[in-house]
Amino acid sequence: MYKVFVKDIPIILSTEKNIGKQYTAIPLKLARFKKLIKKINNGELLYVNLYHKDAEKIEKFLRKKLPYVEAAGGLVYNDKREILFIYRNEKWDLPKGHIDKKEAHEAAAIREVEEETGVKDLVVRRLIDKTYHVFRRNGKFKLKATYWYEMYTEYKGDLKPEKSEGIKKVKWKNFEKSQKALRKSYENIKLLFPKEYLTTHPNDRVSQV
């Protein structure tokens, strides 16, 4: 199963036609992505399941439906088990960016994290996941696939937000502050975190940390 986020609403792509009564089921071959995206953006459609019997062909169909771009980024820990966040567009996010032509995904992830945050000495531990979201540029919808890597560093120097990319802050956050940041983040980012990070005390108030 895939989730393609339009803003924070997921379009489900699966091998099953029926995944819930609230879902509008559409064969992937017949899906008109631009029309679906507009309906979601207008609040007319919230639950969509695009299905195809062959799981291996789902991404191939996705690439045909919209212009496709790739990015890479990192979920970075330090020796205090703090996580590296950036603040951009009024949201807490993780550092990521475009993969250059002929650049390896892992190398792109390291480069983008370094450029956007100023952190150094990164060690890649594993590939966490690949997320998808739709964005609009120059009036056209595009599909972005982002490869996310778990990383580690013992870097203790200054953090430097890449202001040319609209990044206002770079912060190391402990467990509690990460929980709060994720309440003001994106749904596709939350997919990368262990479940305990997404559970907060009911008395916690949403705040910018």
Contacts of 44-48 spanning 24+ positions with Cβ under 8 A: 46/9, 46/22, 47/20, 47/22, 47/23, 48/11, 48/12, 48/23, 48/24
Least confident of 28-32, 96-100, 164-168, 180-184: 28-32
Q: What is the pTM of this model?
A: 0.87
pLDDT (mean) for 142-171: 97
**Domain residue ranges in the chain:** 2-65, 70-198
8-state DSSP, 207: -
**Distance in angstroms (rounded) separating the CA atoms of residues 43 and 188:** 19
CATH 3.30.70.920, applies to 70-198: no
Beta-carbon contacts of 40 under 8 Å, excluding residues fewer than 6 positions away, are 6, 7, 9, 11, 46, 48
pLDDT over threshold 80, residue 15: yes
pLDDT of residue 62: 82
| Residue reference for tokens 């990460």 | 178
What is the amino acid identity at position 50? L
What percentage of the chain carries pLDDT values higher than 70? 95
Give the pLDDT mean for 141-149: 95
Question: What's the pLDDT band for 200 if we cut at 50, 70, 90?
Answer: low
When the pLDDT of each residue in the chain is averaged and rounded to a whole number, the result is 92
Percent of the chain with pLDDT over 90: 78
In which band, very low, low, confident or very high, does the pLDDT at 209 lie, cut at 50, 70 and 90?
Answer: very low
**pLDDT tens digits along 110-119:** 999 999 999 9
* 96-98 vs 68-77, strand pairing mode: antiparallel
DSSP state of 80: T
Pull the structure tokens for residue 188.
Answer: 């596709």
pLDDT in tens, 46-95: 999 999 999 888 888 888 888 999 999 999 999 999 999 999 999 999 99
